[in-house]
Amino acid sequence: MTEVSQNYVGGEWVSSETGETFDVQNPADPDETVASYQRSSAVDAAEAVAAAVDASDEWRRTPGPERGRVLRRAGTALADRKDEITEMLVAEEGKARPEAAGEVQRAIDIFHYFAGKAADLGGTVKGASSRDTTLYTREEPVGVAALITPWNYPIAIPAWKLAPALAAGNAVVLKPATLAPGVVLEIAAALDEAGLPAGACNVVTGPGSEVGSEFIRNDGTDAVSFTGSSRVGETVYEQATDAGKRVQTELGGKNPTLVTDSADPAEAAEIVATGAFGTTGQSCTACSRAVVHESVHDEFVEELVARAESIDVGPGLDHEMGPQVSAAELESTLEYVDIAQSEGATLASGGGRPDGDAVADGHFVEPTVFTDVDNDDTLACEEVFGPVIAVIEVDNFDEGLAVANDVEYGLSASVVTDDHTEAKRFVDEAEAGVVKVNEKTTGLELHVPFGGFKRSSSETWREQGDAGLEFYTIEKTVYDNY
């Protein structure tokens, strides 16, 4: 019998008032039900917010070092169950095991990182004009933070929202994506084991239209952090700002890698392939456009196709690239393949379902390379969210830089070059929140800011590192005339 997981509200594991549940299927074998979860309602979400409000004062008054010790114990609890959580992530989201294990480790590292940061929160002392006045600032929690997280990094993204929110002294309500909620409930269990006060963290599963919307509009929440598609995120931003809440959104990307004439084609192809096909292309920072100088174009394409065709596709526990997360995501990717061909792009590799018994039933797609793509083609403009790369040929560096910037997104961008002047120009002029030189577009350090430009972000607050803490804190200035 399939296990039915419960919500975590007010320090207790509880069922939804609806009495309904939903199943999560294994994307590598859709006939296999991994687990069942509560199909919660707005009523459940409101109860979670009330629990967070009730717990808020106790947690905010808890000294920073003590909050840090709770986060450290939670990180250690996750580490003790790393293998089990990794397999759960593979089963629900489909990632290849090494990618899933790396993501779980990232969550562990995030909790340990912010455990240390919690002790540093406090404020600064300033010089006052009066000899009788002490002038200083205090960093205080915003209140109750509502977190709405996606399925593509189902434990890392919740961790990098949740850990700084708790470190800063906020109570939290969290809605995980319905396609892969299990690992978030594992975080809740780790925090419970670590001694987090009841109600300081609450996790409610269910549809965004019910749970997420209630989190956003409920008067008890003070801040909203959302990661997901640009279309949904822009609606979330409007709703949250209309309600007078602090809000951050991290959204889609259409990330380029510019390959210059000084680049080694084989090295460039490896960088692009890793960025495009890693995590089955289901990353907001995935490389989806290779903008390539004409002098290295043909050799680059040959190397990229060879790399794409060498990738071992199959169930994530024992293959290099796993399935897409759902039938809908697979259908969307294949639709983009059809559109690209109808618009005149050349299919250089992949473009369909792979062959073989291991991939017969799951949501698998071949790593796909298109050439002869124009910069105004659909494939060059819209986020695919699958392992599909569009190769765009350019005549020179200036044209390549212009093409790289000529999209409505600006999340991540990279350049492959042996020319330091070109590298510096790219860093200066690339319209992206993350810019890399001779590296793939994917992969983030946890202690530096992350966020995008244009439609990739609300451009309000960054995530991760000290910037992540800033979103969850507010400064109070104190004049103490003793």
Q: Can you tell me the mean pLDDT for 38-54? A: 98
pLDDT at residue number 37: 98
381 is catalytic: no
**pLDDT tens for residues 278-310?**
999 999 999 999 999 999 999 999 999 999 999
**pLDDT tens for residues 319-336?**
999 999 999 999 999 999
pLDDT at residue number 466: 94
Q: Can you tell me the mean pLDDT for 167-183? A: 98
**pLDDT tens for residues 144-156?**
999 999 999 999 9
CB of 444 closer than 8 Å to CB of 450: yes
Note the pTM of the prediction, 2 decimals.
Answer: 0.96
The candidate with the shortest Cα–Cα distance to 76, out of 48, 45, 115, 46, is 115
**pLDDT tens for residues 336-395?**
999 999 999 999 999 999 999 999 999 999 999 999 999 999 999 999 999 999 999 999
**pLDDT tens for residues 205-239?**
999 999 999 999 999 999 999 999 999 999 999 99
Q: Letter for the amino acid at 251?
A: L
**pLDDT tens for residues 271-284?**
999 999 999 999 99
pLDDT at residue number 463: 96
Q: Can you tell me the mean pLDDT for 448-475? A: 95
Contacts of 414 (CB under 8 A, 6+ apart): 255, 256, 257, 258, 271, 275, 287, 435, 436, 437, 438, 439, 440, 441
Mean pLDDT for all residues in the chain? 97
Domains, the chain, ranges and CATH?
7-251+458-481 (3.40.605.10), 255-437 (3.40.309.10)
CB of 386 closer than 8 Å to CB of 282: yes
Give the chain's radius of gyration (CA, Å). 23
pLDDT at residue number 480: 95
pLDDT at residue number 267: 98
pLDDT at residue number 482: 75
pLDDT at residue number 384: 97
**pLDDT tens for residues 122-136?**
889 999 999 899 999
187 has a pLDDT exceeding 80? yes
**pLDDT tens for residues 47-94?**
999 999 999 999 999 999 999 999 999 999 999 999 999 999 999 999
pLDDT at residue number 3: 77
Q: Letter for the amino acid at 1?
A: M
CB of 207 closer than 8 Å to CB of 232: no
Q: Give the rounded percent of residues in the chain with a pLDDT score beyond 70.
A: 100
1 has a pLDDT exceeding 70? no
CB of 391 closer than 8 Å to CB of 301: yes
262 has a pLDDT exceeding 60? yes
Query: In whole angstroms, how far apart are CA 71 and each of 41, 59, 159, 376?
Result: 29, 13, 11, 47
pLDDT at residue number 66: 97
pLDDT at residue number 264: 98
* Catalytic pick among 201, 284, 287, 381: 284
